[in-house]
Amino acid sequence: MADSSVEIIEGCRLPVLRKNQENEDEWPLAEILSVKDIPGRKLYYVHYIDFNKRLDEWVTPDRLDMKKLQFPKKEAKTPTKNGLSGSRPSSPERDVRKSLDLNVQSASAPSRGKTLPTPKRKAESVSLATQVTAATPVPSLPSSTEATQASVYPAMRDSSFSIKSREEHEQLTSLTTNGTTRRLIPAQPGRKRKNCGGTDEMVKVFQNNNPRCSTIYLPPGEDSQDSSDGIPSAPRMTGSLVSDRSHDDIVTRMKNIDCIELGRHRLKPWYFSPYPQELTALPILYLCEFCLKYLKSLKCLQRHLTKCNLRHPPGNEIYRKGTISFFEIDGRKNKTYSQNLCLLAKCFLDHKTLYYDTDPFLFYVMTEYDSKGFHIVGYFSKEKESTEDYNVACILTLPPYQRRGYGKLLIEFSYELSKVEGKTGTPEKPLSDLGLLSYRSYWSQTILEILMNLKSENGERPQITINEISEITSVKKEDVISTLQYLNLINYYKGQYILTLSEDIVEGHERAMQKRHLRIDPKCLHFTPKDWSKRGKW
């Protein structure tokens, strides 16, 4: 189908064939992120719009529907400058969106109208930002060169923006080369951002002004700029998830490892991971199953295994029941393992950042024992001291073990730790799609378990406060409320709030609980929380 006469460049959008779970052909709209020449043919790295990045892949030209090819939006076309200089800051956005929508509509792919958040907020900052942008000399690229925009971009942005203050940058990030304001559009109503500044006002400002996270699924021209917002600003130092996507460039948007061999498993990484660059070209990256050291070849792995006598994660086992064990690893004391674990985890966690060292984290590695040793199943990391009640930073069940209840077990374990600590906790945000589903599922089951087991005392209707649920489960109050809302349990009845349990909820819960065999047994937990604040430094 590929028409060789038309050059497909980065940023182009077009329907790409993929098989869905029912093994049916689909032609979702996709964006070309990268093109590479291998002898004989070209390969295209595509991101399916509205699909998770983990499904991004290299495709051959025959899977591209060239007839519906959309080139990246031309910069010249966007009414940016005029619009921006106008007194009505919101209008440019609308204009841009309309034109984008039109573009999208023309494609056969599912309308991406819903992917663009409606511009609920036209913050004052937008106007400010736009004006600033207008004043900024924006390199306008001729359409022909736009294809290379993504790759060219970094240099450009560095030169044009390096002198700007950081705040300016944050405002400008969305407004760069194209001058579109669309990145200011995404209101982030629900987003909980981690604040760097610490005050609520700052958080707010940050949210208003920081449009970064919105870019990924935007139309081509905009996407290519995404890599552009070039202000090298370090992510926040707490936590291990990035909500600051300023470092998103095209490199990190693409998987760089083809395959990882870990023990018995071959894993297909979902996301970028900063393994040494020379290893990324390998067809298979070999990891030692126990120390997680990365090796370039099977021979090296063999040699390594003669020297590595680890048969379990190099930490203290704090839980064992049956074949399931948990090991606690201090990110400061066992840096090598922690880093190796993070590198592996990054392959499957999009928002995880490895920007900073692992010192402030503890790693809880869940293993399954067999005669060969304690095999890693999943893990979660946890800040030694969280200022925001996070009891989990990153959490991952390795793909071979997914959808078998281990994730919920990890979550359950994290809350058991919080119970021992006497705190409520919540996972660090943002959650991934799988993370959200897992947590919701865990919260739902946990809360429903409590609600359904409440017995009415002396004939009165059982009742419970949200705080009580929170205390019992160590689930943070907000998560309790959101779960109750999600399950639609909260109702207003005769002047008061009540919790109503519908039949399908009850049945669904009972069915789910029957399947839930893996549970954490608090009696098997040997854990003494440490007061890290008294240890000086993590």
Contact assessment for residue 238 and residue 383, using Cβ atoms and an 8 Å cutoff: yes
Q: What are phi and psi of 149, to 5 degrees?
A: -55, -45
Catalytic residue among 428, 460, 468, 503: 428
Q: Is the Cα torsion angle 202, 204, 207, 210 positive or negative in sign?
A: negative
Quote the tokens at residue 184.
């200011």
**Least distance from C-beta 52 to another protein, angstroms?**
5
With vertex at residue 464, the alpha carbon angle to CA 452 and CA 419, rounded to the nearest 5 degrees, is: 85
CB nearer another protein, residue 6 or residue 437: 437
376 contacts 313 by C-beta, under 8 angstroms? yes
Alpha helices in 35-186 (DSSP H): 80-85, 90-106, 124-135, 143-146, 149-161, 166-172
Question: Is the CB of 87 or the CB of 456 nearer to another protein?
Answer: 456
Are the C-beta atoms of 350 and 434 separated by less than 8 Å?
no
**Shortest CB 81 distance to another protein, Å:** 27
List the structure tokens of 305: 């295994």
* Closest to another protein by CB, 85 or 491: 491
Q: Are 357 and 335 in contact (CB under 8 A)?
A: yes
Residues 318, 327: contact at Cβ < 8 Å?
yes
Shortest CB 393 distance to another protein, Å:
13
- Which of 69/300 has CB closer to another protein? 300
Q: Distance from CA of residue 2 to its chain's centroid?
A: 33
**Least distance (Å) between residue 9 CB and another protein:** 22
- 175 phi and psi angles, rounded to 5 deg: -105, 10
Pick 130 or 215: Cβ nearer another protein: 215
User: Taking the chain, what is the end-to-end CA distance rounded to the nearest angstrom?
Assistant: 57
- Taking the least distance from each CB to another protein, the nearer of 42 and 335 is 335
**Please, are residues 419 and 411 in contact by the beta-carbon 8 Å criterion?**
no
CA 399 to mean position of chain CA atoms: 16
Provide, rounded to whole angstroms, the least separation between the CB of residue 303 and another protein.
Answer: 4
CB of 537 to another protein, least distance (A): 8
Least CB distance from residue 340 to another protein, whole Å? Answer: 9
Does 24 qualify as catalytic in the annotation? no
Structure tokens at 75: 């910069």
Amino acid identity at 18:
R
Closest approach of Cβ 136 to another protein, in Å? 20
Instruction: Please say which residue, 156 or 301, places its beta carbon nearer to another protein.
Output: 301
| 28 backbone φψ class: left, alpha, beta (φ>0; ψ -120 to 50) | beta
d(CA 193, CA 479): 16
Return d(Cα 481, Cα 484) in angstroms, integer.
5
What are the phi and psi torsion angles at 396 (to 5°)? -150, 135
Query: Using only C-alpha atoms, what is the Rg of the chain?
Result: 25
Structure tokens at 79: 């009414």
Instruction: Please report how close the Cβ of residue 142 comes to another protein at its closest, in angstroms.
Output: 27
Name every residue whose Cβ is closer than 8 Å to that of residue 43 and which is 6 or more positions away in sequence: 35, 36, 37, 58, 59, 60
Residues taking part in catalysis:
428
